[in-house]
Chain A
Amino acid sequence: MKNSLADRSSGGIICAALITIFFFSGPLHSQEDLVSLSVKKIAPPSSLLATDHKYDNGNSISLSWVPSIDDALMNNPIVAYKLYRSSNDTEPNLIAELPPGSSYFLDNGVSTDNSYSYSVSASTNAYEVLSNRTESITPQSEWINYNKKYLFLMVMIISGAIMYFIVSAKRGKELFVRKIAGLEAIDEAVGRATEMGRPIMYIPGIQDMDDVQTIASLTILGRITRTIAEYDSKIFMPVARSLVMTAARETIKASYQAASRPDSYSDDMVNYITDEQFGYVAHVNGLMVREKPATVFLLGAFFAESLILAETGNSIGAIQIAGTARPAQLPFFIAACDFTLIGEELFAASAYLSGEPMQLGSLKGQDVGKAIAMFFVLLGVLAATVSAAWDIELFNNLLDNLNELFS
């Protein structure tokens, strides 16, 4: 009992002494100091580095730091890293909160007109400790993106090849292009609809004019409607985008004029339905079942609706020619349609149908691109296999270089 009383009195003296020191040692400077008296503080993140992100428009700064040494503990006290940005030496603002273990951030919210400094804090549930602030940095805008130099080289080689074959074809060189069954069947499909006295339905996908598949679809539409105009058959085209409606009307009108049948054209051939995917599908399905078109073209960008449309077309006995550049939808079209344009065939269709030497030349140019792709695929397979099996330095280096080339 005595000992415990003595302990208590000595404890009280120590407390009194601490309180005296506390009040007479001058004011505390920050909340962090208060924290340091009560608990052991976590270490702040260190070596914060702000560098201009290379080869960009001057709209980003790269930040990297060494995480707090307390970040690797089993009961990790750190819940987040908070990044603060000061623009032109003004008050810092919180710009991002990152999970524990983070050591990199790309700040895309900057411009070349201002200079910026940064600090990063390791934050627990109770407090946060800040790193040193970086020097001010002004992002720079570069003229050339050297990260894309190999890609640029590839584009130049393939574009050069396409241009070469276009010029060769213009000079009269004979070019062989393999037959594409789906495109060979277009005349037959239009003729069938004409003979049966039933209309042709054309669906250009559900994307807008900023999708290259929709543009490809409209170029094919131009060719097909010219044939339809010549056969004096009937086409109707429900669309899911109002811009596609406007563009398609112009395309069809131009084709009817080119076929010397401008009087047969009507704006009612193309109708806007709705932007909503399944609302559009419901309408098109209903239209198919009621109008029973003899031929259905499904050419463009399709998603989950591809099979619903194609199966409905199949159920009414229409001859169906489909094409898309979305690999996930191709199996559905192959299963449900008579002919399917696979990937690149959709983009080649217009050139193929035109039969013009210059357009066919561009298709031959593509083959050079394919040959280059095949060469690198085989080289990559060889390098990866030999490197994994025998660890030969030459092939290891080759593999590294290929990785750099295509990363």
Chain B
Amino acid sequence: MRREIPLIITTVTGLVFAISYFIPHMPFGNSENIFGEWISIVQAFAIWLGVLNLVKVSIDKILSKKGDAYYSYIVIISLGIMLIVGFWDGLSGLYADPPYPVIDDSTSFYWIFKNIYTPLTSTMFAMLAFFVASASYRAFRARNFQATLLLIAGFFVMGGRVPLFDLMISGITDVPVFSHFADWIMTYPNTAGQRAIMIGIALGIMSSSLRIILGIERSHIGGKS
């Protein structure tokens, strides 16, 4: 029964969703909203499982006194501070006259979010620029025919996206050749390739969904044996 019940739930839910796409009448018509609300509720409860797991793992690391245990101190302390400040600001806002939300500009919670969390996030995101440079260096090495093609296409697209290349040939022609060619590459070969991948993905999702709905695909619950 441990495997049959999830399979039955999956099959019924999958069929209801598939039917509701073509039958708008109740009870099918609203099923997407209903299931969406259920998912939100389940997610809201499941976050506690995640937080408890994070606390458990961090405490275990602190107790084991491994070399990287100081990260766990930071996690626990940060979690505690945000919980206390969040509850404090939330309750203060709730009973204020007029009430204000916890993300109001005046709250400490928002101050931490704006002045600590956001810069940290931006820092991580900014690292992407350096990774793009190193990955591009490897990708654009002309090792074989495909890589050479990629290098040429990349040269024209990058050249067309900045005014420098068109400026260099402005003495010969007024037509912005590089930007036109870059646009052509992006509009036709690139879009065609992306659409081909999208068609494949749509068919893959259909096939995968059918396997799961029909119970043929069971690897996520341990396979057939």
Interface residues of A (CB under 8 A from B): 55-59, 141-145, 148, 152, 155, 158-159, 162-163, 166, 208, 210, 212, 215-216, 218-223, 226, 241-243, 245-247, 250-251, 253-255, 257-258, 268, 271-279, 281-282, 286, 290, 304, 307-308, 310-311, 325, 327, 330-332, 334-336, 342-348, 350-351, 354, 358-359, 362-363, 365-366, 369-370, 373
Contact B24 A57 (CB under 8 A): yes
Specify the chain B residue showing the minimal Cβ separation from A256.
Answer: B222
Set of chain A residues within 8 Å of B158, measured between Cβ atoms: none
Contact B53 A166 (CB under 8 A): no
Q: How far is the CA of A212 from the CA of B206 in the complex (A)?
A: 10
Q: How far is the CA of A144 from the CA of B206 in the complex (A)?
A: 21
Contact B200 A245 (CB under 8 A): no
Name 30 A/B residue pairs within 8 A (Cβ), A-sorted: A57-B24, A57-B29, A59-B29, A145-B21, A148-B21, A152-B22, A155-B206, A163-B210, A212-B205, A219-B212, A222-B222, A241-B46, A241-B50, A242-B49, A245-B53, A251-B222, A254-B223, A258-B223, A275-B47, A278-B125, A281-B124, A304-B125, A327-B194, A330-B197, A335-B135, A335-B139, A347-B207, A347-B208, A362-B216, A366-B206
Contact B222 A346 (CB under 8 A): no
Contact B125 A370 (CB under 8 A): no
B134 contacts the other chain (Cβ, under 8 Å)?
yes
B201 contacts the other chain (Cβ, under 8 Å)?
yes
Specify the chain B residue showing the minimal Cβ separation from A282.
Answer: B124
B4 contacts the other chain (Cβ, under 8 Å)?
no
CB within 8 Å: A-B pair count: 213
Contact A222 B223 (CB under 8 A): yes
Q: How far is the CA of A366 from the CA of B205 in the complex (A)?
A: 10
Q: How far is the CA of A391 from the CA of B49 in the complex (A)?
A: 64
Q: Which 8 A-B pairs give the minimum distances between C-beta atoms?
A: A254-B222, A242-B50, A347-B204, A222-B219, A344-B204, A57-B29, A272-B50, A344-B200
Given A208-B43, A336-B135, A347-B201, A216-B208 contact (CB < 8 Å): yes
Contact A148 B22 (CB under 8 A): yes
Q: How far is the CA of A257 from the CA of B221 in the complex (A)?
A: 11
Q: How far is the CA of A286 from the CA of B127 in the complex (A)?
A: 14
Measured CB to CB, the closest approach of chain B to A172, in angstroms, equals: 16
Given contacts A250-B220, A350-B219, 19 further A-B contacts (CB under 8 A): A55-B24, A141-B29, A145-B21, A162-B207, A208-B39, A212-B208, A222-B222, A242-B46, A245-B49, A247-B220, A251-B219, A258-B222, A271-B53, A304-B125, A308-B128, A331-B139, A336-B135, A362-B210, A370-B200
Q: How far is the CA of A307 from the CA of B222 in the complex (A)?
A: 31
Given A278-B121, A281-B124, A307-B132, A370-B204 contact (CB < 8 Å): no
Q: Which of A57, A158, A271 contacts B25 (CB 8 A)?
A: A57
Q: Which of B21, B49, B198, B217 contacts A350 (CB 8 A)?
A: B217
B136 contacts the other chain (Cβ, under 8 Å)?
yes
Set of chain B residues within 8 Å of A223, measured between Cβ atoms: 219
Set of chain B residues within 8 Å of A344, measured between Cβ atoms: 197, 200-201, 203-204
B26 contacts the other chain (Cβ, under 8 Å)?
yes
B114 contacts the other chain (Cβ, under 8 Å)?
no
Given A158-B203, A307-B128, A334-B139, A141-B121 contact (CB < 8 Å): no
Contact A308 B206 (CB under 8 A): no
Q: How far is the CA of A246 from the CA of B57 in the complex (A)?
A: 15
Contact A348 B207 (CB under 8 A): yes
Q: How far is the CA of A189 from the CA of B50 in the complex (A)?
A: 30
B87 contacts the other chain (Cβ, under 8 Å)?
no
Measured CB to CB, the closest approach of chain A to B133, in angstroms, equals: 10
Specify the chain B residue showing the minimal Cβ separation from A336.
Answer: B135
Set of chain B residues within 8 Å of A359, measured between Cβ atoms: 211, 216-217
Set of chain A residues within 8 Å of B39, measured between Cβ atoms: 208, 210
Q: How far is the CA of A246 from the CA of B214 in the complex (A)?
A: 23
Set of chain B residues within 8 Å of A216, measured between Cβ atoms: 208
Contact B209 A212 (CB under 8 A): yes
Set of chain A residues within 8 Å of B216, measured between Cβ atoms: 166, 358-359, 362
Contact A347 B205 (CB under 8 A): yes
Contact B121 A271 (CB under 8 A): no
Specify the chain A residue showing the minimal Cβ separation from B221.
Answer: A254
Contact A325 B201 (CB under 8 A): yes
Specify the chain A residue showing the minimal Cβ separation from B194.
Answer: A327
Set of chain A residues within 8 Å of B136, measured between Cβ atoms: 335
Set of chain B residues within 8 Å of A362, measured between Cβ atoms: 207, 210-211, 216
Set of chain A residues within 8 Å of B210, measured between Cβ atoms: 159, 162-163, 362
B138 contacts the other chain (Cβ, under 8 Å)?
yes
Contact A245 B222 (CB under 8 A): no
Q: How far is the CA of A350 from the CA of B211 in the complex (A)?
A: 10
Q: How far is the CA of A360 from the CA of B180 in the complex (A)?
A: 45
Measured CB to CB, the closest approach of chain B to A225, in angstroms, equals: 9
Q: Which of B22, B125, B139, B204 contacts A348 (CB 8 A)?
A: B204
Q: How far is the CA of A48 from the CA of B114 in the complex (A)?
A: 48
B54 contacts the other chain (Cβ, under 8 Å)?
yes
Set of chain A residues within 8 Å of B50, measured between Cβ atoms: 241-242, 245, 272, 275
Given A162-B206, A330-B197, A272-B219 contact (CB < 8 Å): no
